[in-house]
Amino acid sequence: MHSAATALAWEFRRRHRWGMLAVLASIVALAVIRLVVAGSGPAAFENDETFAIAVLVPMSAMFLYLLAVFSFGVAGDIAARQSIFPARMFTLPVTSSALAGWPMLYGSIAMMLLWLATRLLGVWPAGVDVPMFWPLLLGPSLLAWTQALTWTAYPMPGLRVIVTVLWLSTIDAIIMIALELEASEGVMLALLAPHVPLAFLVARSAVARARRGEVPDWRHVFAWVGRYTSVVTRRRDHFTSPARAQEWFEWRQHGRSLPWLVALLLPFELALLFLFHEAPVIVFETLCAVLLTPPFMAIFVAATVSRSGSQTSDAYGVTPLIATRPLTNASLIAAKLKVTIRSTLIAWLLVLVAIPIALRGSGTTPIVNDWLRELVKGIGMPRAIAIVVLGLALLFASTWKQLVQSLFFGMTGREWLIKTVAIGALTCLGVIVPVAHWAFGQAVILAKLWAALPWILWTLVVLKLVAAAWVAIRLHDRGLVSDRTLLAGAVCWDVAVFALYALLVWMTPALIVRRDALALLAILAVPLARLAAAPLALAWNRHR
Amino acid sequence: MNVIAVSELTRRFGAKTALSSVTMSVPRGGVYGLVGANGAGKTTLIKHILGLLRAESGSVRVFDRDPVVDPVGVLSRLGYLSEENDLPAWMRVDELLRYSRAFHPGWDDAYADELRQAFALDPSAKIKSLSRGQKARAGLVVALAYRPELLVLDEPSSGLDPIVRRDILGAIIRTIADEGRTVLFSSHLLEEVEQVADHVTMISHGKIALSESLRAIKDSHRCVTLRFSESRPQPPAIAGVLRWDGHGTQWTAVVRGGSSDWKVDGADVVSDRVASLDEIFVAHVGGG
């Protein structure tokens, strides 16, 4: 290594060589598609969906990957207050400008190359005039701000996610508005050009402050919460059981994250009701966004639920403190599940209290009342109540499901498995969404899918039940869960499935969907196999 | 009855054999020192005893139970303190005690408070605000306060100052003062082991190199310094010598065997003394 710049470049290349190879392979695949589609003539897809599958989805995946790599987000704890810039690099004999600048430069070059490869090698929809230069600046701009904002230390846990998402969304919105207004290439370039230098200044300052160990702390603002908690703690001298102690541990470690994130976002979202109280469409969209906030934020919090400590070097493994608790694996999992239910309840309590207050304060209650009256007039009072209650119950269940559905993978403690599943899920989502979008536009395919729906559902149900049976047998054979707990779990699952089925039958006219299809949907909707497998995964992790 | 019984335990991590057919037993009472160089397999062995690693071949029994099959039965009776002090940074000291208390019905509040005060731990201090030594002390209070039948210490004093090391050694002595309690203590600080251990097991490259009572080890090893009349490029070949150090006319041998009756042609015995544990360790596992 001749210089710090070379060493930093080597580290990126060495550490992410397989991911980079995958990016290169995807670019080669783009070129092959172009050769196949175009031959020697001009290349273009006839519809947007094919373009989305062949170009847009892989490009988005590569973009997100490069974003994570060059912001050090792959290994960093994005929910923490501290900068996610690797602390081991702070002692390197280089300036903060170099520490911030080289990753920014390498990332910007990678983003530019990604765009050039996509622009030149990708096959685009017919009739679309694809710009060349301004998107060349868009990727580096978004990356530079991601780097600057994730390397900054924040006064509150979780604030990094909110600030970064809001700021990147703002940049996106500005670009979208400029495109809507048919801005020229020059204007677009002028809009994007200042971002990288500005972000660099922010990043350099963030790295310099992180190097000095400066982490702002606003937690004293909420000291009254701590004092109240202390009073409560003192009042209750001892935990009544090890399980209660473990629940307390999980609550303090992860449980408060979801309510905090929801509480931080709600004021910003509900402020829109005050700003646009005369626009029913925006009121409706705002309320939808507010109701979707807990399940959406649960996706981010879910990654931390399976971790047993935030400061261990092997963040995915079980810390010795937890591994040496004299508790069974099932008890450790039960504590996590109970805390996720409590987190979900509190997050939703915040939403359900905040919405009426915001509606009343903004004067938008009559708008919502009108919608409710329309609903009652259309389907009758009992069904209207059932729809509202069922909708909220589904959102609540969805929030909890988001928190726990990846618990099985997280509890395995195997980084390779967790990252493979995460990348696989993103890839599947990236493929399924455009494919579904395309299929919905094809009447023939839609009809075939509708006809095959029972078979698809039956296959999924059989797979789910076989997996659940295998898990139950393994749990029983290895003595991880008592027979009584297994039986109680099975009964609870049955009751949940029957309750959901009964509601679906009552809500859905038999002419639209067959009863057996509803039963299969209910079976698929209630979590079973992956949740039951969590103690198995923990045992695999705890006793390696 | 043995508190710990390890039989033919082998563990591999990929191509590396961390433990190779290790057999050892720890009887009830006394202090059992486990010594070895970094990477020798001490922590791997302790992790098997705690049930954090599953035996690939061979068996591990603690209190006559398999720690993987019955973690509650084993972990509720042992106290553990590791070099990798992973106490949650967000907890306060009093919260840590309250949390740990819930898992052990035998928790002694008075004893915990006595230890906390002796170690000058502020109950309202957050773990993250404690120094490394204070963290080790907090971990020690939690490991001792329920008077566990077996105390497992994995390199507890590594990197700590002499005052904290003294506290840890004091804790070991307190533990064995309670009749019938056992301490398994891993370290590469041999002078510490020499101070408190009744029995020493030396582990090297995943194998047990020596396992005897400290007295037997000390009695059976001597350190003899010889001065030759002429300079020698190599020491002489003598049965029982585990290791030679020196050059020219003066050579020092660590010898296995109780006899101090040494006669080597052309050499005078300059000194003949009991070997230190450090010298014995280097002679058995130090290579070179």
User: Which residues of chain B lie closer than 8 angstroms to A324, CB-CB?
Assistant: 50, 52, 75, 80
B125 and chain A in contact, CB less than 8 A? no
Residue type, A113: L
What pLDDT sits at residue B39?
85
The encoded tokens of residue A450 equal 């509708």
Q: How far apart are CA B193 and CA B155, in angstroms?
A: 11
User: Which residues of chain A lie closer than 8 angstroms to B51, CB-CB?
Assistant: 542-543
- Residues B193-227 as b or e (16 or more Cβ within 10 Å = b): bbebbbbbbbbbbbbbbbbeebeebbebbbbbbbe
What pLDDT sits at residue B9?
93
Q: How far apart are CA B130 and CA B128, in angstroms?
A: 6
Q: How far apart are CA B150 and CA B74, in angstroms?
A: 10
B113 and chain A in contact, CB less than 8 A? no
Contact B53 A543 (CB under 8 A): yes
pLDDT tens across A373-416, in order? 988 888 888 888 888 888 898 899 899 988 988 888 888 888 78
Contact B84 A320 (CB under 8 A): yes
Which of A313, A324, A329, A538 to mutate to probe the B interface, most B CBs <10 Å?
A324
Per DSSP (E only), the strands in A387-534 are none
Contact B91 A327 (CB under 8 A): no
What pLDDT sits at residue A417?
83
B112 and chain A in contact, CB less than 8 A? no
- Which residue of A253, A320, A327 is in closest CB contact with B86? A320
What pLDDT sits at residue B64?
92
Contact A320 B91 (CB under 8 A): no
Under 8 Å between Cβ of A101 and A204 = yes
- Which residue of A238, A244, A320 is in closest CB contact with B82? A320
Packing angle of the helix pair B109-118, B132-144 (nearest 10 deg):
160
User: Which residues of chain B lie closer than 8 angstroms to A328, CB-CB?
Assistant: 71-72
- Which residue of A241, A310, A543 is in closest CB contact with B52? A543
Contact B52 A320 (CB under 8 A): yes
Instruction: Kindly state the average pLDDT of the residues A95-108.
Output: 94
Chain B: closest CA distance from residue A324 (Å): 6
A515 and chain B in contact, CB less than 8 A? no
- Residue scoring higher pLDDT (A275 or A1): A275
Contact B54 A239 (CB under 8 A): no
Per-residue pLDDT of chain B (288 residues; tens, 9 = 90+): 789 999 999 999 988 889 999 999 998 888 899 998 888 899 999 999 999 999 989 999 999 999 998 889 999 999 998 877 788 888 899 999 999 999 998 899 999 998 899 888 999 888 888 888 889 889 989 998 988 999 999 888 777 788 877 877 777 776 776 667 899 989 888 888 888 888 999 998 899 988 999 889 988 888 888 888 888 888 888 878 888 888 888 889 888 876 556 777 777 888 888 888 888 888 888 765
Instruction: Kindly state the average pLDDT of the residues A325-343.
Output: 92
In chain B, whose CA is at the least distance from the CA of A328?
B72
Beta-carbon pairs below 8 A across chains A and B: 77
Chain A: closest CA distance from residue B38 (Å): 19
Is A41 a residue whose pLDDT tops 60? no
Q: Please tell me whether residue B242 adopts helix, strand or coil conformation.
A: strand
Which of B12, B43, B53, B98 to mutate to probe the A interface, most A CBs <10 Å?
B98
CA distances from B107 to A242, A272, B255 (A): 13, 55, 48
Q: What is the DSSP string of A242-274?
A: HHHHHHHHHIIIIITHHHHHHHHHHHHHHHHHH
Q: What is the pTM of this model?
A: 0.75
- Which residue of B72, B88, B98 is in closest CB contact with A309? B88
B87 and chain A in contact, CB less than 8 A? yes
From chain B residues 57-86, the ones with a CB under 8 A of any chain A CB are 68-69, 71-72, 74-76, 80, 82, 84, 86
